[in-house]
């Protein structure tokens, strides 16, 4: 019998892609000469917000800033755990001004914000599991930032090395299903990191490279519903077999900048 999954209401921070464009290349998905339909990107983003709200989740908004085309990818701005905000220091100079605007939003909302000294890209590489932080490195966030996060948050941090440039952030290769399990693409990780994940999550849902290239692992799960790219149909079917309920949301225009559902979604805990 398929296990009955229980959703939990979440609070998300998002940023409208009002100024979205591909103006530079900082990952293999980005091609500045490729046309981008900014209107379509906004409509797809609105469909994501509607999907979250239709499933009972609270959505907060930060105001987009002209000249910051990647500000839509709110997850990269911070990791929030227990009301503590571990902010960002982006690897790419083009994105570094985003941090100040997100920090301002959090401070205005009453949060203390820690600005890391080492390169750290928020929930892009720092994934809260309910017990500890899984922390990616290899392309963006540094191991030194992992140590800073552990000291500031007071939560155990487990480092994982990413090895495939197409999966340059941890949230392109792994997402949390619930407090007990994750879904991930094993070959995105170094051999030692794969072994760590096997030991931590022996019942994990495993994804293929095709799933990952379709942004299937850049998903958000509330414990039952999985907000997932419709292009990752095979993975959605596999998750349904495990008792999760896929909610397809197409962000294909935003894929042109290397981001998807999770990239657009900062969770406030």
The per-residue pLDDT for range 190-201, each reduced to its tens digit, is: 999 999 999 999
133-153 mean pLDDT: 98
Burial class (CB within 10 angstroms; exposed 0-12, middle 13-18, buried 19+) of 164: middle
* Paired tokens of 8: 């939990």
Task: Establish whether 263 is a catalytic residue.
Answer: yes
How does strand 245-248 pair with strand 11-15?
Answer: unpaired
The string of pLDDT tens digits covering residues 106-130 is 999 999 999 999 999 999 999 999 9
pLDDT at 2: 61
The yes-or-no answer on residue 221 being catalytic is no
What's the whole-number average pLDDT of the chain?
Answer: 98
Q: Side by side, which strands form the sheet with 133-137? A: 126-128, 133-137, 157-161
The three-class DSSP label of residue 95 is helix
The predicted structure's pLDDT at residue 3 = 74
The percent of residues in the chain predicted with pLDDT above 70, rounded, is 99
Residue listed under structure tokens 């994940």 = 197
Q: What is the rounded average pLDDT of the residues 12-17?
A: 99
The one catalytic residue among 15, 183, 221, 263: 263
Is residue 251 pLDDT above 70, yes or no? yes
Indicate if the pLDDT at residue 1 is higher than 50: no
Give pLDDT, residue 83: 96
Q: For position 161, what pLDDT does the model report?
A: 99
Active-site annotation holder among 169, 221, 255, 264? 169
pLDDT by residue (tens digit) across 177-234?
Answer: 999 999 999 999 999 999 999 999 999 999 999 999 999 999 999 999 999 999 999 9
Mean of the pLDDT values across residues 20-36? 97
Inform me whether the pLDDT recorded for 4 exceeds 90. no
Mean pLDDT, to the nearest integer, of 126-153? 98
- Encoding tokens for residue 9? 């209401």
142/120 Cα distance (integer angstroms): 7
Q: Please report which helix (H) or strand (E) contains residue 39, including its range.
A: helix 38-54
Average pLDDT over residues 53-62: 98
Please state, in angstroms and as integers, the Cα–Cα distance from residue 142 to each residue in 122, 145, 156, following that order: 11, 5, 16
Name the pLDDT band for 143 (thresholds 50, 70, 90).
Answer: very high
Dihedral of alpha carbons 36, 42, 47, 52, sign = positive
């Amino acid at each position: 019998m398929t296990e009955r999954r229980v959703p939990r209401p979440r609070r998300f921070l998002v940023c409208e892609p009002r100024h979205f464009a591909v103006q530079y290349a900082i990952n293999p998905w980005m091609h500045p000469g490729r046309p981008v339909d900014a209107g379509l990107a906004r409509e797809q983003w609105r469909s994501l917000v509607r999907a979250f709200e239709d499933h009972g989740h609270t959505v907060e908004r930060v105001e987009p800033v002209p000249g910051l085309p990647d500000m839509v990818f709110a997850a990269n701005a911070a990791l929030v755990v227990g009301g503590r905000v571990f902010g960002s220091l982006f690897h790419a100079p083009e994105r570094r001004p985003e941090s100040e605007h997100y920090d301002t939003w959090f401070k205005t909302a009453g949060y203390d914000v820690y600005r890391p000294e080492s390169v750290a890209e928020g929930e892009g590489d720092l994934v809260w599991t309910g017990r500890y932080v899984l922390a990616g490195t290899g392309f963006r966030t540094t191991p030194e930032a992992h140590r800073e996060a552990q000291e500031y948050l007071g939560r155990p941090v487990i480092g994982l090395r990413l090895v495939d440039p197409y999966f340059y952030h941890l949230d392109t290769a792994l997402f949390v299903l619930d407090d007990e399990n994750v879904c991930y693409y094993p070959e995105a990780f170094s051999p030692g990191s794969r072994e760590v994940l096997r030991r931590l999550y022996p019942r994990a849902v495993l994804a293929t490279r095709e799933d990952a290239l379709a942004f299937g692992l850049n998903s958000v799960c509330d414990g039952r519903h999985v907000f997932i790219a419709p292009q990752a149909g095979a993975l959605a079917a596999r998750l349904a077999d495990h008792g999760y309920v896929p909610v397809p949301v197409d962000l294909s225009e935003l894929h042109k900048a290397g981001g998807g559902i999770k990239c657009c979604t900062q969770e406030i805990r």
